[in-house]
Structure 1
Amino acid sequence: MPGQLDAIEEYLQLRDLVIRLDERFQNVEKLLRDTINTNKEEINNIKNVELITIKNVQNSRKCLEHDEKLKSLERIVYGSVVVMVSMLGFILTKMFVLPSP
């Protein structure tokens, strides 16, 4: 009988150990799942940031192109104004400074 009691006691201790190990395993498994989900979210966030960055770069390029076009138009308008002022000066000179006889 004493051998059986020792065996039963050892069995109960081992069963308790297995139960505690199973609980720890379940906790580790849950932590791993949570970590995987967090990593997936972080990867998605990084992908979103990459997409936003790409769009910002594209928009910056478009802005630069538009800026160049505006500078070109500014030069054309400035040149046209210079020509118009010169013509106006010439016409006013003809009208007031050099009246015809």
Structure 2
Amino acid sequence: TSVEFWQNIASGVGKWLRAIFAIAFWSSLILLTFYAIMTQVAPSKVFRLGALVDLIESVKTVLLGIFVFTASVTGIIAGVAAIANAFGASFAVSPIDVVNALIFQPIVDMVK
């Protein structure tokens, strides 16, 4: 019925958002690596690859934010899990599950 219809839409939107987040994460990692290499090769903007590097410089803050967001969410979950384990409780979500759900699984789903 209509509840199932909206659940299917929400599930599809969630899969697409996770896929977009994973692509953004991996592209940020690739672009940051490229940027680090280019700063060592040619530290001046004049000698860099022109428009491509200017594009990277204009979006690197957003991409770095995505990378830092992923690292902080994983760190928070790891901290909560460590505190829960210290008090003898169990925490159902591990940092590995979070990284897998945010970064790796959407890419695997897209390839399928």
Q: What TM-score does the superposition give when structure 2 sets the normalisation length?
A: 0.37
- The structure with the largest helix share of the pair is 1
Structure having greater relative contact order (Cα 8 Å, sep ≥ 6) = 2
TM score, norm. by length of structure 1: 0.40
